[in-house]
A and B are shown apart, each in its own frame.
Chain A
């Protein structure tokens, strides 16, 4: 797309902004930073300046646009319907073209497109991680032993270890049964595959429990979100094309259990795919994309749930609630689980501050945003925080460790799988 064409696209959105400032009341970054350069309307003003020739695509401008969680709160809150998410993504791309991305990001994103190399790298990482990382004091995860150049890892930060064995090695590529109710293809995403394979296994269990055939293609690639949200559209486009090819089978549903992967497959690919043939194929896939909580709400049998006497609260991942419109579904599922004590927290749908690479670049800021989430979660008195996004899970778990909280974090799929298992045990016990 030519620079002019891009700006023409911008103009359509820019003209709608009336600078009313509603974005000031919803932006998590603005609430901490208290500066107009973090608001959506401030950024709209800057882009209008770019179009008019008053503002240049400088490295400073690039930094201002990076300081955004892409949580879409401004999109949802905007009375004039300005698609600030699309604008800011496009602005990041324009900036990346002009100023290029940091070397580390360029290398990393390039790596994503060589799936096998990426896979080997992470397996190697799983073996080697103890050289660089040490167990955190509370045993919840790992901390960097020293400043690892370019890793974006704050020394305080506690991250989960890479799994000994990735998800896709733990389960067969195809699991079929008799009289299947439907065929699902499971797009695992990288975090479930390499970091939280148990949550991925829970997804497979849920699908199987409800009588669905499951395919977990081994050649699926990263969804591309880290690349295209950073402004590397080429990499994003390549990965999208790969995944469209892999998912274009005879499937009834494309199941996701990662907010960002789901939002990418369902909606955001539409913004980056240019090739007509790929786009037609993607449109078919998009209609089938479903988060696992949505699947359970729609196709799951609530009669299979056993009692789960846990006190839980739920965090709405941005890309689930605003990226995929999934927010009621998990709550409806919770309501159907016997004995489950679900307590909704204040501002459950406000961003937790993770924002992908945001939390690496702006660790302190993302911690401050996360603190509000943790306070609200603690106020509910729940023992477990449930969420449908592994990135949120990682960031929230780090926050809980930092403040020495006993609250545990789990994936929605894990909770549902537990409820099914409890149902099985009850049945066995009853007989």
Chain B
């Protein structure tokens, strides 16, 4: 990058917040995937106006701008594959307002999700999306990737809670979409244009979110199955039966064994699969729903169904779920987490397909995840330094996508398209659908400077 431009950009954010040294830029060349690319400059702006000024300079000189939150994404979204500027948003990390009467929050995008969740909880309200990365991920990132989480089954995902956004466009102009009034219909839903757009259409600088009521009571259950197929059938039967659990998580045998090895908490290592189920709401309704859930599990051939008697017991079960990733990491170092998602009714078929693919490519694959909304998270445990194995992995991943699409599913339940899934996007959307996406991108970001090389801007090289 031209030194004069670097000086111009540095002047905008201040010397302390412009990282030019090679060693520092190297630390911004990655996210939570295994792809790397070097940025030319890292800027840590402190305000919307600084961001707009940076975008104007970048626009003038045709420099790519890659917006970055905590870079915990799993599709390569924050990796600057075409170089340029990495715009780190984490200095914009304030809560502007939490309104308990009208139940909304206005926040800056760089706030860590967990810190926001704690503030909402303190205010006596509830914000349901709870991605596994909430301890480090930012809300701006959650919206850009449209994050989900275990609560998604009952409460929906990030997109269901975004009321409006303030966005800086590629040329530095500032627009506001949506409104604090839930039900605003003054024109098309532009907010949704940016939600899940992964930094390819604009830089989100302010977020308006819907809040909801905290559930009064909840109850956790564990159902143990001989065969994973029965667990999968339970999920689809449950969802059809009318009672929607708050969370409905599945763990297959390999996952159970890995977690038990890791935690030693007495999980049933012989079981084909277990379901972790939580229901919440009014205490009386919860009681009724527990009975209902237990009956459905039994009807679907569960060996046993247990309700946690104490909060401690419930916590132990959720700890087991949260420990899946570290437990798997102990088996093989490189964990490739996929999120191909299918309609709930097709879960039994998807489970069978995943198992077949694992066998075909002789890969260690575990299945766990948010079964309740069809998001199974098949994870391939491999070693990135084993080139031959990685070649099999990439074939297996392709087939996973194909299998999901064949069942009427999608490439991404919550991790986004980014760079890694961009080659397959056309499979899901079709040629015309993909072209429409390109046209929209062209209209909003005509010079294609925002997070280039991703999603609709992907070109096979």
Contact = CB atoms under 8 A, between A and B. Distances in A.
Interface of A: 15-16, 18-22, 24-25, 34-37, 39, 42-43, 45-46, 49, 54-55, 58, 60-61, 64, 79-81
Given A16-B329, A18-B329, A35-B44, A55 B135 contact: no
Interface string B326-349: 100110011100000000000000
Contact of A16 (B28, B33, B333): B333
Interface string B13-49: 0000001011110111111110010000000100000
A388 B112 CA distance: 33
Contacts of B326: 79-81
B384 interface: yes
A426 B53 CA distance: 73
A45 B91 CA distance: 23
B329 A19 contact: no
B71 interface: yes
A61 B25 CA distance: 12
Contact of A19 (B31, B137, B385): B31
B237 interface: no
A15 to B, nearest CB: 5
A45 B135 contact: no
B136 interface: yes
Contacts of A46: 23, 26-27
B325 A58 contact: no
Contacts of B133: 20-21
Nearest to B326: A79
A117 B257 CA distance: 58
B212 interface: no
A5 B114 CA distance: 41
Nearest to A38: B27
Nearest 3 A/B pairs, CB to CB: A79-B326, A42-B27, A80-B329
14 contacts: A16-B333, A18-B329, A19-B31, A21-B71, A34-B44, A36-B27, A37-B23, A45-B26, A45-B36, A49-B26, A54-B26, A55-B23, A79-B326, A80-B326
A35 B114 CA distance: 19
B53 to A, nearest CB: 20
A178 to B, nearest CB: 46
B335 A81 contact: no
Given A18-B334, A36-B71, A80-B333, 13 more contacts: A15-B385, A18-B333, A19-B30, A19-B32, A21-B136, A24-B136, A34-B91, A35-B27, A35-B44, A36-B27, A36-B88, A37-B24, A55-B26
Contacts of B22: 55, 60
A212 B23 CA distance: 54
B298 interface: no
B329 A81 contact: yes
Given A24-B70, A79-B325, A36 B23 contact: no
A18 B335 contact: yes
Contacts of A42: 27
A370 to B, nearest CB: 21
Nearest to B36: A45
A42 B335 CA distance: 19
B90 interface: yes
A37 B21 CA distance: 11
B176 interface: no
Contacts of B91: 34
Given A18-B334, A18-B335, A79 B26 contact: no
A55 to B, nearest CB: 6
B80 to A, nearest CB: 13
Contact of A45 (B19, B27, B33, B329): B27
A25 B135 CA distance: 6
A15 B333 contact: yes
B27 A22 contact: no
B261 interface: no
B233 interface: no
A45 B37 CA distance: 12
A36 B325 CA distance: 22
A81 B29 CA distance: 23
Nearest to B114: A25
Contacts of A39: 27
A25 B114 CA distance: 10
Pick from B22, B33, B91, B137 the residue with the most CB of A within 10 Å. Answer: B22
A172 to B, nearest CB: 48
Interface string B366-385: 00000000000000000111
